[in-house]
Structure formats: C-alpha cells, structure tokens
Structure 1
Amino acid sequence: MRWLEMVIDVPAQAAEAAAAAVLEVVDAGFAWEERGGTVRIRAYLPEEGFEERYRRLGERWRRVRQVFPAVGPWAPAVRARAVDEWAEAWKAHFRPLPVGRRLLVVPSWERHRVDPGPRIPLVLDPGMAFGTGQHASTRLALELLEEELEGQPEPRPVLDVGTGSGILAIAAALLGARPVLAVDIDPGAVRVAQDNASANGVDDRVRVAAGTAAAVRRQPPPGWAVHLPAAVTVANITAAVLAETLDDLVHLTRPGGALVLSGLVSEATDTRDLEERCRARGLEIRRRRRAEGWEAWRLAVPN
C-alpha cells in the first residue's frame, strides 16, 4: 500500500488548532516539528480515498483560518511514501519518553538499548497508527489514566475508544487494569495495537476489536459484555468527535466510574461545546490537565 504524506507549516500560535483540525480527518499518522516561530505538521493518509479526505481537511482548515488569519491556505506539499519510508519518518521523531510518575514510553527499535530504571517500560511501534506519547494529548491522557488507576485495591476493567497504536490500553494493563478492552475504527490500527500488546506481554489482558463506541454499545464483541460497563473509559480523539459520541461513552462507563477525555484544544469552541454537553449530562470534571495548548479531563460519571 502507498501512503501520501502532507507537509504544511503554520505559525506556532495556531499549531494546536491546526493539529486538531487535521486529526479530525487523519487517523493513521501524524507528527509535528517545532521550527522556531513555526510548526511543521506532517500527516499521512492512504492513497485509497485520499481525495475525499483531502477535501474534508480543506474544509476544516478554513475554520482554523477564520480564527487565525495568519495561517495560509490549505496547500500542503504532498508526496507518495512507501510503508517502509513512512515508518522511517516516524523513527526520526520518536525517542524514549518518561510520562507521569511510573511509565517510560520506549520505541521498539530501542528497547534493548534503554535502561528504564524504576519506571515501567511501555514498548511501542506506532506502525501506521496514531499514538506515540510524544504528542501532548497522548501524554495528558496517560497521566490522568495513571492517576485514576493508582492505589486501586483490585484490577478494574478499562475501555479505550479510538485506541490507535494501543498506547493507552497497554498503559492501563501495565498499571494493573484487567481486562482492557480497546476499539478502533481502523482495522490497521487494530493489528498494530495487538502487536504492541504482545510486545509488552499484556496480550492476555488487552482485547482489541474493530469498531466504534456506538457499535460496542449496540453489540459488544464476543466476551466483552460481561466486563461492560467499564470502571474507566478513556478516549483521546477530538472534541467534536467526543461530543458526538458522549452518550455512548457514558453508557459504556459504570455509574461512579471515571471518563478520561483527551485531544481537546484549550479555548477552542469545540472544547467549550463539549464541556457544556458534559455538564448537561451531569458529568463533573474532577481533574483538568493542560500542556502545549491541549487539555485532558478526568470526569466522574454520576451514580
């Protein structure tokens, strides 16, 4: 399969909003690189269906320009990438990363060269899936997940919606959750997450399936129903998608449980709209973490 790489530079002050717009459409690969007063965004889409997604990106980009006029038009440099080239491009931006108080995210190609010390190594090969821990939205979700699972007397079931590389699901398993149910709309991400779970020795605790939160609510995959609703549900997507699927996420989380939401651009209209929807549902934000213009919430699901 061939992939198309899109590269575009944006002013640093608009980078978070631009990244959020791209991530509403791109669910396979994304990276950014700070370059002084600008940020270079790289996004990857499969060649199949590229034109439609490119058009949708243009629509979202116009919304960004309404808020940040300094952002140029949607005219990224586009070039074809073979799968192995895509993987090498990722490696250039992916280094061991301490997250929270206990985790160390380690690229699979460096696992034998890194001493994790007292931290728990989380070995990861992103493949064609989003989620390496390098992006603030993933780090914030990992930190809130760690806080929620810390000091629990017994393992609790966790649901990860939009698992991508499986990083959040695997972290939950390494931090003591059991079982961990992970779902992603992209079958390629499902394969990547399964491989990463196996590489971390938690494939007996992490179950991965293709689908959406709505599909899981309607008809859970075989063997999942007994563990639902989950004690903790985590979703690192975008505010707009989270707002659309909020009812499903709440339904899939047990009363008194926790909902961890990330991928939220601070001060963005979509984020404010999501917060209003959460309040209307009786969800209380117990913890709010921010970094690099992004934020994540840990909410209490009412009894």
Structure 2
Amino acid sequence: MNSGPPTTRATFAIGDERAARRVVDLLNESLDDDHAAVAAFERPDGCWEVCLHFAGAPDQGAIRALVRLAAGDGAAKAVAFGTVEAKDWVAASLEDLAPVPAGRFVVHGRHDRALIAANKIGIEIEAALAFGTGHHGTTRGCLLLLDHVLRAHAPRRVLDLGSGTGVLAIAAAKALRRKVLASDIDPVSVRVARDNARLNGVGNLVEAIPASGFSAPRFASRAPFDLVLANILANPLRQLATPMAAHLAPSALVVLSGLLPHQAQGVIASYRARGLKLRRQLVIDGWSSLLMQRL
C-alpha cells in the first residue's frame, strides 16, 4: 500500500487508565468520526498514550479545550500536534499490541500469528487506513456476543453493518463458513475489509460494499438477515432502527455496540419499539454492547 498524503496527529500521555478512558470517550462523542479517530494505548512504562488522527487540519485550540475538560490543564498543555504518513501510525501501534481474546476468537497482528492456539479462531488484522484492530472494548464486546450467539444458533444470512476493518464479518465467516455481507460508508474501510478477508482466507465469503445505512440494493437482495452486527455509535444506531427492523428475519439476532453505558437505554428503547427484545448486555472498558432479538 502506498503511504499516501500525510495526516495530522495529536498525541499526549496520561498516567491514569480511568482518565485515558474518560478523555477518549469525550473526544469520540465530540468529534465527527468521519474526520477524526481516537485511540489509547498502554505504554511499557504504565502510562497511557492517547492518539488522535485527523482527515484535515484540526482546530488545535478546540482539541486542547476538550482534553482540558476531560483530563485537566496538564494534559491539555501536553498535547503535541504533528503530521505523519497515513499508514505508519497504524503499523507502529499494531507492533506493540498483544493478541486480544474474545471467546473462541483471537484478534492478532502478523507478528503473533504463530501464537494462536489450534482451538481458537484467529483474526489477523494488519496496518491499514481504517480503524478496528480488535483492541477497543466495542469490538471485543461484539466478538463475545457473536461467540455467545454461535453457541446456540447457526445464522444463514449475516450482515456486518459499518464494518470498518472487517473484524466482525471475518469472525462470522470463519466460524460459520458461510457468506457474510459487510458494508461501510467509507470506501477506504471497504477496501481494507476486502484485503483483510483475503488475508484471513475468507475473501470468497465476505462481500464488502460501500453503503450508507440500508440504501444499497444489495441489502434487499440479501435480506432478510438472521444476524446483524453493528458496531457504530449511538445516534446512527437509533436512526437505523426502523430500516434495520425491515430487513430482519423472524427471531433474528442483532448485536449493537459503540455505546457509552448511559446511551444504552435509549438505543434499547428504539429497537424495542420496532419489536426487538434485549437478550444480553456487556460493558467492557466503559463501552456497552447489546444483544437483541426480534420477537
């Protein structure tokens, strides 16, 4: 992959995990996810490094103000802005990340490929211009709920809505050995999902398409879905409740994530009004993941 144009990056360190989670949550809620992405990683010295990557030049004063609100003056003053090649920061981050277990699934980088146990399903994710390495609480929550679902069900028609790097679609395809439809509004993410599917040996099973919501004709031809995986954000999930319900099979299962705990009840209510019932809820690293079922 070519390095492409440079992107703007902001970084700062926080010595407290709780503070790091708080500032990441606030930044994710406050920034447009189409133009900025936020992640936090524990460093070898025990401190947490928070990284923001922007599609365009950010308002540095506004970013410092958000950090100050979440983590205080010291963190705000420590924010350093710079530019970096579009792919290098992902590669550097992945090299330092340990494999992430989630039930039968393990998300890992190429450097840990040989460490995956034979009785686990490895999902290899490498450097790319899209987010979703499996280290975020929302992704792990979705994988755990997917593992829970597959212990009792064998869905035939599966959709990964807002697929990002394709982690969830790949997990479902590898576990079920069936075709999975994956969609994302970002064409770069679609390309990355296709690449990752091929890397994981399920390129023939994961069909990744660019789409906003359920507007693409491919949804109608593949519906009704027995299982939908949607790791997005609270507001889009509420807006998608009606079109999603229209594309579900009877007794279909839906995994929803990308929610802060205080947002979960609002999302549950939106889907309950469309005939779905909450079956299970997980909270991991300050993020809620929901399993709902159509009645």
Query: With structure 1 as the length reference, what TM-score do the two structures score?
Result: 0.81
The structural deviation recorded for 1:123 is: 1.5
Which of 19, 22, 40 is the matching residue for 1:32?
40
- Cα RMSD after superposing both structures: 3.1
Q: 1:218 aligns with which of 215, 220, 233?
A: 215
Structure 2 Cα separation of the partners of residues 283 and 64 of structure 1: 40
Work out which of the residue numbers 89, 94, 99 in structure 1 matches 2:92.
89
1:155–1:137 CA distance, 2 compared to 1 (3 A): closer
1:184-233 deviations in Å (ceiling 9; x for gaps): 111111111001100111111110011222xxx33323xx5332121111
Moved more, 255-264 or 2-11: 2-11
SS of residue paired to 2:272:
helix
Counterpart amino acid of 1:208?
Answer: A
* Residue identity opposite 2:132 in structure 1: G
Secondary structure at the residue paired with 2:190?
Answer: helix
Which position in structure 1 is the counterpart of 2:53? Answer: 44
Find the aligned partners of 1:58 and 1:237 in 2 and give their Cα distance: 24
Deviation at 1:148, TM superposition (A): 1.2
Contact 2:24 2:39 in 1 (8 A): no
Correspondences of 1:45-124 after superposition (within 5 Å): 45-46=54-55, 50-51=56-57, 54=58, 58=62, 65=69, 70=72, 76-100=79-103, 102-111=104-113, 113-124=114-125
1:292 Cα deviation from its structure 2 partner? 1.9
Give the match for residue 264 of structure 2: 271
1:236 has 2:231 as partner: yes
The 8 Å contact of residues 157 and 177 in structure 1, kept in 2 or not, is answered as no
- 2:291 aligns with 298
What is the SS of the residue equivalent to 1:42? strand
Q: 2:244 aligns with which of 249, 252, 255?
A: 249
Matches of 1:265 and 1:132 in 2, distance apart?
19
The change in CA–CA distance for 1:88 and 1:219 in structure 2 (over 3 A counts) is closer
Q: Structure 1 stretches (4+) deviating beyond 6 angstroms? A: 35-38
Q: How many residues are treated as equivalent by the alignment? A: 285
Per the alignment, residue 22 of structure 1 pairs with: 27
1:260 and 2:265 are equivalent in the alignment: no
CA drift of 1:241 comes to 2.4
Question: How far apart are 1:122 and its partner, in Å?
Answer: 1.4
Distance 1:257 1:115, change over 3 A: closer
Structure of higher RCO (CA pairs closer than 8 Å, 6+ residues apart): 1
Distance of 1:141 and 1:57 partners within structure 2? 35
Could you say what secondary structure the match of 2:195 adopts?
helix
CA contact (8 A) 2:241 2:274 kept: no
Sequence identity, in percent? Answer: 31
Q: Hey, what's the Cα distance between the residues in 2 that align with 1:63 and 1:220?
A: 42
Amino acid in structure 2 at the alignment position of 1:143: L
- CA gap of 1:144–1:218, structure 2 versus 1, over 3 A, is same
2:190 is the counterpart of 1:190: yes
Distance 1:26 1:148 in 2: 29
Gaps of at least 5 residues in structure 1 are: none
Residue 134 of structure 1: how far off its partner (Å): 1.1
Q: Note if contact 1:9-1:39 (Cα within 8 Å) is conserved in structure 2.
A: yes
In the TM superposition, what is the alpha-carbon distance from 1:179 to its structure 2 partner?
1.9
**What TM-score do the two structures reach when normalised by structure 2?**
0.83
Q: What SS class does the counterpart of residue 26 from structure 1 fall into?
A: coil
Report the CA distance between 1:81 and its aligned residue. Answer: 0.5
**Partner AA of 2:110 in structure 1:** S
Q: Is the contact between residue 281 and residue 289 of structure 2 (CA under 8 Å) also seen in structure 1?
A: yes
Distance 1:249 1:21 in 2: 28
Change in Cα spacing, 1:281 to 1:70, as seen in structure 2 (3 Å) is: farther
Structure 2: stretches of 5+ with no match in the other structure? none
